[in-house]
Structure 1
Amino acid sequence: MIGAIMKAMGLTLLRDKGALVMTFILPPLMFLVFAAVFTGVSGDDAPVKAAIADASGSEGGHALFLAMHNAPLVKATPVRNEADVRDAVRSGAADAGLVIVSDPSAGGNAAPLLVLADPGRAAAAGLLMAHVQSLISERLPQIGLKRLGAQMQSIVGAFTPEQTEQFNLALEASAESVAKGEKPRGGDFFARQTVDSLKALPTVTYYAGAIAVLFLLFSSVQGAASLVEERRSGIFDRLVMMPGGSSVMVLGKFAFITLQGVLQVTLLFVVAGLVYGVAVLPHFDSWLITTIAAAAATSSLALALACAARTRQQAQTLSTFAVLMLSAIGGSMVPRFLMPAWLQSAGWITPNAWVIEAYQASLWRGAALEELAPALFVLICYAVAGLIISIVLARRHVRLG
C-alpha cells in the first residue's frame, strides 16, 4: 500500500511540469545565483567602479594612476581633481573614489592615497583599497620599497653611499622578491573619508527600496492569480461579454493591483521615515512617481504571467520562479555592486534593479526628478509591454474558450 501511494505521487509529480521545475530546476538555479554573488563578496576578485584623480604631480603618482587604468578588477574613470571624485561617488557614478594626494613612494606620516567611500557602498571602498594594495605589490613593488626607505631615513638619518647602493639593488630585485611571495612593506598608504549625503542610514534606504519591489512582486502575482480562478470558474467568460471585453477586464485588474501596490509601498516608507529617518517628504514628488512606476511595472508583469498560465498551479510556479529570480539578480536580496560584473549587467534586465536605483538616487543622493528619467522610462516600458502581452494572451483565452 505504501508503495502504491508513492507510485501515485510520483506519477502526479511527473505529469506536473511546473512542480518538476520548482522541485528540481529552481533550487540549482538559485544556488548558482547566490554562489556567484557570495563568491564575489567573500573573494578578492570583485570588480569596483572607481573614480581616480592624480593630484600629486609626481612620477610615482603618475605611474600608479596609469597602472590603475589597466587593473583587471578596477573599472577606472579618470577625473580632474578631488572634487570631481567626490561628485562621482556622491552621485553613484562610482562605487568608490581614489585621490593620489602625494607621491606614494615618498616618506612621511601623511597617507599619500585618499579613498572616498559612499556610506551606502562601504564594502566597495575596502575592495578598492585591497585592489590598489595588490596592484602596488604585484606591478609597482618599487613604490612600497621607496616609501619604506624614505621613512627609515626620516628616523635614522640619510643613508651612506654603501647603504644607498644596497637599497638601489633591493629596488632592482623587488620584482623577483614579489614573485617569491615577499611583499614589500611601505607603511600606511591610505586615508579614508566618507562622502556627505542625506541623513538616513544608507543601508536602510537601500533595503527600503529593495523590500518594496520584492513585496510589490509578491502582492501583484497574488492579485493577478484571480484571473486563473475566474477562467476555471466560468466568471471570465461572463466578464469578457461586457463592453470592452477582455481588454477592460485586464485594465481594471491592472489599475487595482497598481493602486494596491502604491498603498503597500506608502506604508513601508512611512515606517522607514518615522523609525529611521528616510527622507521621503523632502523628495515626495520623485518618490511618488517612482512608486507609481514601480507598482505599474510589477502589476503588468504579474498579469502577463497569470495570462500565460492555464492553471493555478502553473501560475504559482511561474510567479514564484519569476519573483525569486528577478529579486536575486536585481538586488532585492544582495546589493548588486557586490556581485560579479556579469551578474551586475544581467541585473539591468529586471525591474528590481531600476526601482532600487531610482529610490537610492532620490532618497539617498537627493537626485532631481530629471536624473531619474532613465529608470522611470524603463519601468514605464515594463508596464506598457506587460499590459500589451496580458491583453493579447487574454484575448487568446477567449478564442480558445
Structure 2
Amino acid sequence: MWRHVWLIAANGLRRSVRDRSILIQAIAAPILIALVVGAAFGSGFSLNVTVGIRDADGSDISRQIAQGLTGAGGDGIAFSAVDTDPEAALDSGAYDAVIVLPRGLSDSVLSGQPAQLDVVGEATDPLAQSVAESVAAGVAANLQTARVTAVAASAVGVPDPGAAIQRAVTAPPPLTVEQGEVTGTFSVMAYFAPGVAMLFLFFIIGNGARSIIEERREGTLPRILAAPVSAGSVLLGKTVGVLIVGVVSMTLVWLVTWLGFGAYWGDPIGVFLVIVAAVVAIAGISLLITGLARTENQADALTTIVALLFAVAGGTFFYGASGVLSNLRLFTPN
C-alpha cells in the first residue's frame, strides 16, 4: 500500500515542479507581496508634531507655563512660542497645533475660579490635535492643583496665597513614572510574510487537491483505480504530495524571510511544527472543498472565497484587531 502511496505522491510532485504557476504561487508571490508590504510599512510609525504655545495672558503664571513647555519636548514632539494669531500660525505651516493660554488665566487661578486652555488645530491632522490636547490636559491638571491651593490658602488665611500656589505648582510630584522604549519587538516582514504565504497556500494545495477532479474529467482516475490500487491509497498519495508541496513552500518562505531579511518567526523547531500543522489544516479544508465541488470551476471559486474569508478573519491584510475579530482569528489557520 505505502509503495503505491509514495508513487502517486511522487507523480504529483513531478507535476507540481513542472507547473510554473505553482512555483510562482509557492515561493515568488508571497515573498514579493511581503516585500511590497514591508516597503510600505517597514519604516514603522513616525511622530513629528510641532506644537505652538500662544501666551495671551502675559502673567507670571502663564509665562512659567509657556517656558516650561517650550523647554520640554521629546522624540517627535517639539514646542515653540507663538507671537501671532493661532490661525495665522497654523496657516504658516510651521505649527501643527497651538495651545492658547487665554487672557485672565492668572486671575482665574489666583481667585480659585475655573481656568480654560484653548487648543487650535487642523481638522485634517487629528493626531497633532490629540497630542496638543493631551499636553493641555496635563497643564490643566497643574492649574487645578494651583486652584485648589488658592482656595485652601484663602480659607485658612495664608498671608501670601501666590507663594503657596508657586510652591504647590513647582513641587516635585509625589509619584513619578519612568518611561522606557521597547525596540526591535515587531517586524512587518515577520508578520505579513506568513499571512500572505498562508493565503497562497490555499491556492497551491487547492491545485493539488483539484487534480482529482481533473483526472476524473480526463478519464485518468478510472484507469488508476482499475489497477491493483485501492481508492484509499490514491487519495492518501494525493494528500501526501499536496502536504509535501505545502510544507516545502512555507519552509522556503520562512527561510528566505528569516535568513535574507532578518524576519524572526520564532524558535525554528516550533516554527516548523506550526508550518506542518497549518499545511495539514489547509489541506483538509482543500480536500473538503474538492469533495463538495462538482467541477474545477466550482472548486476554484470555493477555494478563493474560503481563502479570502480566512485571510480577512485571520488578519492577513491588516495588523491589530479587537472584539469579535480578535477572537475569530484564533479559529483560522492564518
TM range (shorter): 0.3 to 0.5
Q: Which has the higher contact order (CA 8 A, sep 6+)?
A: 2
TM-score, normalised via structure 2 length: 0.47
Q: Over alpha carbons, which structure has the higher Rg?
A: 2
